[in-house]
């Protein structure tokens, strides 16, 4: 697998790190087909991966989980998953928690915002051919219990509010290439 070209994708303010792990995806390794989109010519299962995190600082009142492809040929990347208002006592999401139609394991009170597919859920990798894309599964520890947004907020607005309230952040970045 070729390496994607270097791009400066992390312009976010520096914060302490969270540890983010998964039973389904690995940093720098190929994303399994279970977590690939099931449309646009792709034949994945469109399941959000298992995620668990630790190391949140004192004062953490909620979490947000995002999946972002900085390598999408859009000029602005591509948001695959935007989940926020996750209660502070939750430190793990099972496989499929962000996947429609049943969202098994999604914590009560957590909200999906629209992703760049226009859906309020996780939608998997669907890159055009050419080179591997990175999928940054980030967990953000927030200093507020609720962001005060609803699920119709666009990813950039949620991202702005997440960044303004982030106490710590960690991510894993599997890759996928067609």
Range 139-159 average pLDDT: 96
Q: Is residue 117 part of a domain?
A: yes
Asked, for residue 3, whether it belongs to a domain, the answer is no
pLDDT over 50 (residue 7): no
List pLDDT tens digits, range 65-89.
999 999 999 988 999 999 999 999 9
Average pLDDT, the chain: 92
Cα–Cα distance measured from residue 99 to residue 123, given in angstroms and rounded to the nearest whole number: 8
> For residue 52, what are the CA distances in angstroms to 110, 117, 118, 142, 172?
16, 25, 26, 16, 11
- Tens-digit pLDDT profile for residues 107-120: 999 999 999 999 99
CATH of residue 98: 3.90.280.10
**Amino acid 20: pLDDT:** 97
The domain of 48 spans 19-176
Can you tell me the mean pLDDT for 95-100? Answer: 94
């Amino acid at each position: 697998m070729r390496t994607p070209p270097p791009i400066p994708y992390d312009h976010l303010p520096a914060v302490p790190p969270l540890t983010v792990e998964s039973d389904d995806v690995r940093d720098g390794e190929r994303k399994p087909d279970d977590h690939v989109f099931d449309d646009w010519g792709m034949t994945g299962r469109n399941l959000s991966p298992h995620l668990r995190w630790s190391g949140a600082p004192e004062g953490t009142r909620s979490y947000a989980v995002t999946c972002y492809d900085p390598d999408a040929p859009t000029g602005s990347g591509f948001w695959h998953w935007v989940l926020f208002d996750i209660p502070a006592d939750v430190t793990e999401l099972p496989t499929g928690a962000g996947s429609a139609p049943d969202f098994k394991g999604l914590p009560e009170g957590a909200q999906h915002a629209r992703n760049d597919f226009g859906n309020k859920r996780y939608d998997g990798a669907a890159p055009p051919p050419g080179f591997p894309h990175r999928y940054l599964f980030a967990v953000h520890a927030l200093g507020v219990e609720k962001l005060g947004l609803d699920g119709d907020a666009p990813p950039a607005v949620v991202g702005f509010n997440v960044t303004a309230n982030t106490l710590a952040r960690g991510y894993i970045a599997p890759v996928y290439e067609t």
